[in-house]
Structure 1
Amino acid sequence: MSDQATLKGWTIIPTPQTVQHKAGVSLLPMCGRVNEPRAFGDERQVLATQLADDIHAVTGLEWDIATGDRWPGFITLTTLDDLDARPSGAYTLDIAKDGVAVRGADFEGVRNGVQTLRQLIRQCGAALPCLHIEDQPAFETRGYYLDVTRGRVPTLDWLKTWADKLCLYKYNQLQLYVEHTFAFDGMSETWRGSSPLTPRDILEFDDYCAERGIELVPSVSTFGHLYMALRTQSLRDLGEFPETADEPFGFIDRMRHHTLNISDDRAFDLSTKLIDDYLQLFRSDKFNICADETFDLGKGRSKPLAERIGVAAMYADYVTRLCRHLETQGKKPMMWGDIALEHPEILKRLPETVTLLNWQYDPQVDDGKIRTVAESGARQIVCPAVWCWNALLPRIDDAWNNITRMARYGTQYQAEGMLVTDWGDLGHVNDPRMAIPGMIIGAQEAWNPGRIPNEADMLSRISRLEYHDASGELLDILARASHAACFQWNHLITWLELDDGQDGVNTGVLQTIQGLLPENERPDDVIRALQDESQTPSLAESRRMLLRYLKHHIALGETADHLLQTSARRIATIVAAAGSQATANAAALRMAIEGQRLLNQIGLRLASDVGAIDSMQSSAASQHDDTARLAEALEIWMEAYAAQWRTLSRDSELRRLQDMVWELTDYLRFQSA
């Protein structure tokens, strides 16, 4: 569709399989009606209401909705006659001068056709192009995976807003990643202070998603990633390393040490309690037990068992027990595939009912692991990422490369679907709106992979449709701005958490430094120093090593600042032309860009102070003033950031992010005193 649609100034995402353009324009009546039957399952007329609301938003016209053959509508929604010949989700859309018809193979098909029509109405108003579309998805499952645990718990209103957006782009599944942020009975010590989701939240959200054709699938950590639970007085004995439960909280530590000691029979009781309590709140027949990144398995309390039967057998036996437990309740188990792929013998031991969620986030990922699962005969869903974690600005280029490759491999090896992941490691500093470009790329590739020839074309389409940017340039500007992130949020967290809380070095954090850069960018001299086990460096030296390790990136900060400022100005101009619909996104984009400018300045200051890069050429008094101004600017930004946070999210772990910033600004002031 390059096509004529683009030349006419409108676009559809995901791109339909076939579009036949016809002569003329269909002018929507001033007093019109949407008619849909009750038969295909839209009991509350959500789809008809979506259309009426969009018509009102762009034309000011008030349309009626009705059901039944005595209330004809200019827009009619119905099911196709040849149902057996059409896969689930398929639809046709006919726009003619005398009316508009959406026909679907099932409820999902009608829903998908309505979303295509909504996109055209949003761009063309009351004057729609006459055309005929026949369309169907490449993947039956087109899911989104949203982290609601690692710092940010969204408000229910924002979750509904996100579900609406997923619906518009034809996603049909959503999973929320939960560790400790759900209010399980008897586990208040785990979820206290996290602003947890409640059973009522889930029930209401499950209904909301179902009405929009989205299956809300329960997902909860049942094996690994139980950091907060295993730090409690009540449950610490169930961890592989209970002796570490009283160590200070660390964002980085939370990502590394969190595994159940499954040689203790009580571990299975905890896992099944989480499963049994949670699954009752969902209408879905699926359940994701997660079971990923069990780094500590067999290394602590369960080491004797590992020495006897092996880590792979331990893992396979435990997840099989959990899957069988779900099967007895009529549920289809899902789990992340990383551990099974590290120990391929596990693949042969898994229950045949389990679906492996095969996550691969490398932008240059190859097909090796997807092929391995396919050859084993196991069911799989491919899982790329929107690439927003650990950063203020989204890495859109990485998201494009990762998602398009995974969609291609998923198609090649006949995966059951695609699940696009959206993580919030290290406090979820990334504003959820930063994930919109990656989410829409995922929608396109899950529906019609490979149809859009290049990233520039895709970003231009998203800019026009989602951001109301007539120039089509917005996301290209944002993608280029992300390249100017020289000192990033995860760099700052590493610098701060090298301190073990007693002016010593957190050796666990020290070991993570190498992973901050790709192998081809790692400076050999710093690598040798990090690998020298003859002595543990001091805190000051450890921080200096980190800054030396990153110096080639940090040193680009001044040049990058010009790019970020230019980007902010260009985006402001585009948003002003787009009107009030773009205001919320404008605030999020400006906040991210200004925050990254400050991070870059902080990196320059820290590296200069310890001689990791050439000292800034200024007097001591000037440096003192600059450092004080930098600390103040960061504190002001953090207050504005917190206000934006609360428009989308509960307080949850906002205070942890603030404490990190205050620790840094206190350090800056102390150093400049």
Structure 2
Amino acid sequence: MKTTKSNTFTILPNTKIFIQQGDPVFLGSPYAKIKAFLEEQYSYKLLLNIQKKSQVIDEDREENAIYFILSDKVCSGEGYQLCITPKTIKIIASTHVGQYYGVATLIDLIMNQGLRLNEKVLDDEPYFKHRGVMLDITRGRIPKLSYLKEVIDVLSHYKVNQLQMYMEHTFQFSFMSEASMGKDGLSSMEFMELDAYCYERHIELIPCIATFGHLYELLKSHSFKHLCEYENFNDEHFSWMNRQMRHTIDCMNPESLELVRQMIKEITPCFRSKYLNICGDETYDMGKGRNKERFTEIGGARLYVDFLNQILDTVIEHDKIPMYWGDVILQYPEYINEIRTDAIPLHWWYEATVKEADFAVFERTHRPYYSCPATAGWNHFMNDYKRAYSNIDKMIEYGVKYNAAGILVTDWGDFGQINHLSTSLPLLKYGAKKAWNPSAKPADRLFDKSYVEMLEDIGNERVVTWEHLMKWFYGRYHNDFMLGDITNEFQGLKESLLLESYDRLEVLEERVSGIAPFYNGSISDDLVEVFCDIQGMKWMIEFVRVIKEERTDAKLATTIENWFMDYEDLWRKRYRESELYRIREVIIKLCSFLRTNI
């Protein structure tokens, strides 16, 4: 009988894992990662073994075994070699981080091919040394620690090595209780717990705190309102639009710098990272209030750069490397070389069309900078996938062309953070893959093909968004037209356009129901959130039809109220209470309008 030699390796229940003497074994170690995966997915309980000195030579290695080998002869840094033969699997790297990423690739192969793996040798290393993600935890919702850890596990699997969580008032500073109370922020102890969790998974948790612009809650408080550039700001009604716009600190008041110094002093010990992002973006009101005369005298660039450098100096005093958003200095490119040379600008731009010339500005400084795309999920229930793909692709392409030091994919939650983080995760994964390998093909974005394609289709239904509705809401009830009067835009929407979008959303509801039985675990929870998102998009279309026809609709009010109770349950499953109450207040008012037209 003739037998054919197999060119595959099959992982069996008795497959052994061999590590080297002295290799650390902890939850985030590469061996623990593959061991836990096989136990969870296949109930395999593989044993860890210590390699003998004689097993350094291939011929002396046991068959049907997975070997972890530290060697600087293959790949450096975070790179690795994954070698699959009919007898063994070898994961070779110069560091345990490289081995960890090799395991991530091995797991991906198993997910695609099963336990019978084709023979291959894969040499792999990252293009960008710094591959980060930024999560907004200040605009309305704050994930529970348990959910944050789930997300961190996902990010580490996709070889993300930096994580920032954007904060304004949601770090519980000891001296900022008036601004933080009732917002469910994270304590210093909780951040230290997350920092340790990230560290074990080879992610650097970087503090990211607003210190110049975007200080709405802080500067509205009685304790610190005297430090606001905009003098009458604290007397205005709350709106998500006001929170976004009027919140810049008085950069000429010595107390302002002292406050920022306190913030930096208190936050730095909670993170082992060598970096601190002080933000410094969108200082819309600088020089428009208390410092109007000074602005006229010396100009906005001088005001901005002088105060920014004082903040950066403070970060350096605490032995950290400062980062800052680069949007304001792009308005004054001739001043960029006056900013500290050891500070890292973060160049963000979130549109589908990207300005290539902006990258040249940062490259000419010959200093490290990051390119920062976004997931395009804010202000709506579902991300604009088409826009996000284009933005991520271009921002990384130009990051390569103009020698960016790193990539930071951002996820924002403007207007109350109505959007669930789960619908951004496929885009964060996509950005991570592109940061590791910028030449990755577009098809690589389809991780769970049917699921992601469905999200893309839902994202195309943006006839009415949450931002549209909030512009109408604040205009009607607060005479606030800061971002324009949308009433005429609503009246101009064709009935056929609204109804066609509604019908497509109903079909998409059926698609969610159709694929749901094939998923379990966290993605099953994600699908429930997606179903809720679609229902939210449907009632917004119906609400606009009511506005256009100037009628009441008590039945729609009941539909929205029942929907919102489901939305609250979903929110509380993964997130703290945070500012859910603000969305509830809006929903109550919208439903009252539907019943009374008042």
Question: What TM-score, normalized by structure 2, do the two folds share?
Answer: 0.94
- Please state how far the C-alpha of 1:47 moved relative to its aligned partner: 2.5
Aligned partner of 1:378 in structure 2 is 367
Q: Secondary structure at the match of 2:119?
A: strand
Q: One-letter code of the match for 2:501?
A: A
Aligned partner of 2:214 in structure 1 is 225
Aligned partner of 2:518 in structure 1 is 577
- Please state how far the C-alpha of 1:78 moved relative to its aligned partner: 2.9
Q: Secondary structure at the match of 1:242?
A: coil
Residues 572 and 645 from structure 1, CA distance in 2 versus in 1: closer, same or farther, beyond 3 angstroms? same
1:547 to 475, 483, 490: 490
Deviations 1:435-484 (A, max 9, x none): 012112101211111330x4xx234x312xxxxxxxx3332232122222
- Please state how far the C-alpha of 1:130 moved relative to its aligned partner: 2.2
Aligned partner of 1:240 in structure 2 is 229
Q: One-letter code of the match for 2:314?
A: H
Aligned partner of 1:657 in structure 2 is 583
Aligned length: 586
Alignment partners' CA distance in 1, 2:21 and 2:257: 45
Q: One-letter code of the match for 1:669?
A: R
Q: One-letter code of the match for 1:647?
A: K
Deviations 1:600-625 (A, max 9, x none): 1111211222xxxxxxxxxxxxx65x
2:71 to 80, 99, 113: 80
1:462 aligns with 2:447: yes
Alignment partners' CA distance in 2, 1:545 and 1:222: 38
Q: One-letter code of the match for 1:387?
A: A
Contact map agreement 2:233 2:246 (CA 8 A) in 1: no
Q: Secondary structure at the match of 1:371?
A: helix
- Please state how far the C-alpha of 1:87 moved relative to its aligned partner: 4.1
- Please state how far the C-alpha of 1:553 moved relative to its aligned partner: 6.9
Alignment partners' CA distance in 2, 1:45 and 1:237: 47
Deviations 1:489-516 (A, max 9, x none): 0111111111454xxx12xxx1412xxx
Q: Secondary structure at the match of 1:222?
A: coil
Residues 318 and 242 from structure 1, CA distance in 2 versus in 1: closer, same or farther, beyond 3 angstroms? same
Aligned partner of 2:538 in structure 1 is 597
Alignment partners' CA distance in 1, 2:519 and 2:413: 29
Q: One-letter code of the match for 2:543?
A: I
Q: One-letter code of the match for 1:28?
A: I
Q: One-letter code of the match for 1:76?
A: Y
1:213 aligns with 2:202: yes
Deviations 1:406-426 (A, max 9, x none): 110000011001100000001
Contact map agreement 1:146 1:177 (CA 8 A) in 2: yes
1:512 aligns with 2:483: yes
Deviations 1:588-645 (A, max 9, x none): 1111111111111111211222xxxxxxxxxxxxx65xx1111111111111011111
Q: One-letter code of the match for 2:532?
A: M
1:58 aligns with 2:76: no
2:465 to 488, 497, 518: 488
Deviations 1:204-235 (A, max 9, x none): 10000011010101110011100000000000
Q: Secondary structure at the match of 2:407?
A: strand
Matches within 5 A, 1:162-201: 162-201=151-190
Residues 232 and 500 from structure 1, CA distance in 2 versus in 1: closer, same or farther, beyond 3 angstroms? farther
Contact map agreement 1:495 1:546 (CA 8 A) in 2: no
1:444 to 429, 433, 439: 433
Q: Secondary structure at the match of 2:209?
A: coil
- Please state how far the C-alpha of 1:29 moved relative to its aligned partner: 2.6
Residues 363 and 74 from structure 1, CA distance in 2 versus in 1: closer, same or farther, beyond 3 angstroms? same
Alignment partners' CA distance in 1, 2:150 and 2:513: 24
Residues 249 and 42 from structure 1, CA distance in 2 versus in 1: closer, same or farther, beyond 3 angstroms? farther
Question: Unaligned 5+ residue runs, structure 2?
Answer: 56-61
Aligned partner of 2:295 in structure 1 is 306
- Please state how far the C-alpha of 1:67 moved relative to its aligned partner: 5.0
In angstroms, what is the RMSD of aligned CA positions? 2.1
Residues 562 and 500 from structure 1, CA distance in 2 versus in 1: closer, same or farther, beyond 3 angstroms? closer
Q: One-letter code of the match for 1:167?
A: S
Contact map agreement 2:67 2:91 (CA 8 A) in 1: yes
Contact map agreement 2:423 2:455 (CA 8 A) in 1: no
Q: One-letter code of the match for 1:443?
A: A
Alignment partners' CA distance in 2, 1:232 and 1:650: 23
Contact map agreement 1:42 1:107 (CA 8 A) in 2: no
Contact map agreement 2:264 2:314 (CA 8 A) in 1: no
Aligned partner of 1:275 in structure 2 is 264
2:382 to 383, 386, 393: 393
- Please state how far the C-alpha of 1:395 moved relative to its aligned partner: 0.9
- Please state how far the C-alpha of 1:199 moved relative to its aligned partner: 0.8
Q: One-letter code of the match for 2:458?
A: A
2:94 to 80, 95, 105: 105
Q: Secondary structure at the match of 1:406?
A: helix
Matches within 5 A, 1:37-48: 37=20, 46-48=29-31
- Please state how far the C-alpha of 1:244 moved relative to its aligned partner: 1.9
Residues 500 and 39 from structure 1, CA distance in 2 versus in 1: closer, same or farther, beyond 3 angstroms? farther
Aligned partner of 2:58 in structure 1 is none
Moved more, 422-431 or 43-52: 43-52
Matches within 5 A, 1:413-428: 413-428=402-417
Moved more, 629-638 or 90-99: 90-99
Q: One-letter code of the match for 2:528?
A: A
2:346 to 352, 357, 361: 357
Q: One-letter code of the match for 2:503?
A: H
- Please state how far the C-alpha of 1:129 moved relative to its aligned partner: 2.4
Aligned partner of 1:632 in structure 2 is 558
Contact map agreement 2:76 2:93 (CA 8 A) in 1: no
Q: Secondary structure at the match of 2:455?
A: helix
Q: Secondary structure at the match of 1:263?
A: coil
1:560 aligns with 2:497: no
Identity over aligned pairs, percent: 28
Q: Secondary structure at the match of 1:144?
A: strand
Residues 631 and 353 from structure 1, CA distance in 2 versus in 1: closer, same or farther, beyond 3 angstroms? same
Alignment partners' CA distance in 1, 2:403 and 2:477: 48
Question: What TM-score, normalized by structure 1, do the two folds share?
Answer: 0.84
Contact map agreement 1:55 1:126 (CA 8 A) in 2: no
1:647 aligns with 2:573: yes
Alignment partners' CA distance in 2, 1:184 and 1:553: 50
Contact map agreement 2:6 2:86 (CA 8 A) in 1: no
Contact map agreement 2:241 2:482 (CA 8 A) in 1: no
- Please state how far the C-alpha of 1:99 moved relative to its aligned partner: 1.9
Aligned partner of 2:121 in structure 1 is 132
Residues 44 and 160 from structure 1, CA distance in 2 versus in 1: closer, same or farther, beyond 3 angstroms? closer
- Please state how far the C-alpha of 1:165 moved relative to its aligned partner: 0.4
Moved more, 332-341 or 483-492: 483-492
Residues 110 and 570 from structure 1, CA distance in 2 versus in 1: closer, same or farther, beyond 3 angstroms? same
Deviations 1:536-558 (A, max 9, x none): xxxxxx5633524xx33775111
Q: Secondary structure at the match of 1:301?
A: coil
Aligned partner of 1:29 in structure 2 is 12
Moved more, 249-258 or 62-71: 62-71
Residues 580 and 559 from structure 1, CA distance in 2 versus in 1: closer, same or farther, beyond 3 angstroms? same
Alignment partners' CA distance in 2, 1:277 and 1:398: 38
Alignment partners' CA distance in 2, 1:113 and 1:348: 40
Residues 213 and 169 from structure 1, CA distance in 2 versus in 1: closer, same or farther, beyond 3 angstroms? same
Alignment partners' CA distance in 1, 2:250 and 2:199: 37
Residues 499 and 632 from structure 1, CA distance in 2 versus in 1: closer, same or farther, beyond 3 angstroms? same
Residues 271 and 66 from structure 1, CA distance in 2 versus in 1: closer, same or farther, beyond 3 angstroms? farther
Residues 65 and 602 from structure 1, CA distance in 2 versus in 1: closer, same or farther, beyond 3 angstroms? farther
Q: Secondary structure at the match of 1:255?
A: helix
Alignment partners' CA distance in 1, 2:49 and 2:278: 42
Alignment partners' CA distance in 2, 1:578 and 1:322: 48
Contact map agreement 1:38 1:67 (CA 8 A) in 2: yes
Aligned partner of 2:59 in structure 1 is none
Q: One-letter code of the match for 2:454?
A: I
Residues 35 and 190 from structure 1, CA distance in 2 versus in 1: closer, same or farther, beyond 3 angstroms? farther
Q: Secondary structure at the match of 1:34?
A: strand
Q: One-letter code of the match for 2:444?
A: M
Residues 543 and 323 from structure 1, CA distance in 2 versus in 1: closer, same or farther, beyond 3 angstroms? closer
- Please state how far the C-alpha of 1:110 moved relative to its aligned partner: 1.4
